[in-house]
Chains A and B, each alone.
Chain A
Amino acid sequence: MVQFFGQTNIPFIKYRTGAFIFSGLFALIGVISIFVRGGINYSVDFKGGLFLHLKAKSQIEMNIISYTNQSLAREITERVMPELEKNMDLHVVLIKREFDNRQGLLKYCDSLQIQNMKGEFVVLENQIIEENKNVNEKIKILINERNPKRNFPKIGIKELRNCLENFNLKGMEIKTLGREDQHEYIINIIKEETDQEGGQQIRKILEMQFPSVYFEFLRQEYVGPKIGKQLKRESLIAVIISLIAIVIYVGFRFQFKYGLAAVIALIHDAFLTFAFFCILNREISISFIAAVLTIVGYSLNDTIVIFDRIRENLRLLKRENYENLVNISINVTLSRTIITALTVFVPVVVFYLFGGTVIKDMALALLFGTVIGSYSTVFIAAPLLVVWYQRAQKKAKI
Chain B
Amino acid sequence: MKRNQLYINLFILLTILLGLYYLFPTYQYYQSGWLKKDVTEMTENELRKKQSIESKTIKLGLDLLGGMHLILEVDKSQLEAKDAQDAVDRALEVIRNRIDQFGVSEPDIRKQGDNRIVVELPGLRDRERAKNLIGSTALLEFNLVREVDELGAVLDKMDLVLSKKIRTGKEITFKDTSAAMQNNLTSLIQETPKKAVADTGATGEKDITKIFQGTETDTAGGESQEISVQKPFSSLLVQFSGYRRDELRILDRNLPKVKALLEDSDILNTIPDGNRFAFSNEAEEFNGIRYWSLYLLKSKSELTGAFLKDARATVGQGDFTANQPEVSMELDSEGARIFSRVTGANIKKRLAIVLDGKVYSAPEIQNKIPNGQARITGSKNLNEAKDLAIVLRAGALPAPVNIIEERTVGPSLGQDSIRQGVISIAIGFAFVVIFMIFYYRMSGLIAILALGLNITFLLAFMAALHATLTLPGIAGIMLTIGMAVDANVLIYERIREELNAGKTVRSAIENGFKRVFLTIFDSNLTTLITAIILYQFGTGPIRGFAVSLSIGLIISMYTALVITRQIFNLITQRKELKTLSI
Contact = CB atoms under 8 A, between A and B. Distances in A.
Is chain B found bound to chain A in the same assembly?
yes
Interface of A: 1-2, 53, 168, 193, 195-196, 200, 216-224, 226-227, 231, 234-235, 237-238, 241-242, 245-246, 249-250, 253, 286-287, 289-291, 293-294, 296-298, 300-301, 304-305, 308-309, 312, 332-333, 335-336, 339-340, 342-344, 346-348, 350-351, 354-356, 358-359, 362, 366
B243 interface: no
B410 interface: yes
Contacts of A218: 409-410, 412-413
A34 to B, nearest CB: 24
Contact of A196 (B403, B486, B531): B403
A200 B128 contact: yes
Contacts of B533: 238, 241-242, 245
A301 B545 contact: no
A286 B405 CA distance: 14
Interface stretch (B155-163, B327-335, B474-482): B474-482
B545 A340 contact: no
Nearest to A335: B493
B478 A348 contact: yes
Given A216-B412, A219-B413, A234-B538, A249 B471 contact: no
A238 B526 contact: no
Contacts of B410: 216-219
A344 B436 CA distance: 12
Interface in B242-291: none
A88 to B, nearest CB: 14
Contact of B409 (A219, A296, A300, A354): A219
Contact of A350 (B416, B424, B475, B542): B424
Contact of B545 (A53, A200, A220, A290): A290
B534 A238 contact: yes
A2 B493 CA distance: 12
Given A293-B530, A301-B486, A358-B471, 15 more contacts: A168-B199, A224-B405, A231-B539, A241-B537, A245-B533, A249-B529, A300-B526, A300-B530, A301-B527, A304-B519, A305-B523, A340-B482, A347-B481, A359-B420, A359-B475
A335 B416 CA distance: 37
A31 B542 CA distance: 26
Interface string B475-510: 110110111011001100100110000000000000
Nearest to B113: A230
B407 interface: yes
Contacts of A293: 530, 534, 542, 545
Contacts of A309: 519
- Residue among A196, A231, A250, A343 with the highest chain B CB neighbour number at 10 A: A343
Interface stretch (B209-217, B351-359, B426-434): B426-434
B466 to A, nearest CB: 22
Nearest to A193: B204
B71 interface: yes
Nearest to B476: A294
- Residue among A294, A297, A336 with the highest chain B CB neighbour number at 10 A: A297
Nearest to B415: A86
Given A1-B582, A227-B405, A308-B519, A358 B413 contact: yes
A335 B481 CA distance: 19
A209 B113 CA distance: 43
Contacts of A1: 496, 582
B475 A347 contact: no
B202 interface: yes
17 contacts: A2-B438, A217-B410, A218-B410, A219-B413, A245-B533, A290-B472, A293-B530, A293-B542, A294-B476, A294-B479, A300-B523, A305-B519, A339-B493, A340-B482, A340-B486, A351-B478, A356-B420
B428 A351 contact: yes
Contacts of A344: 478-479, 482, 485-486
A295 B127 CA distance: 35
B66 to A, nearest CB: 9
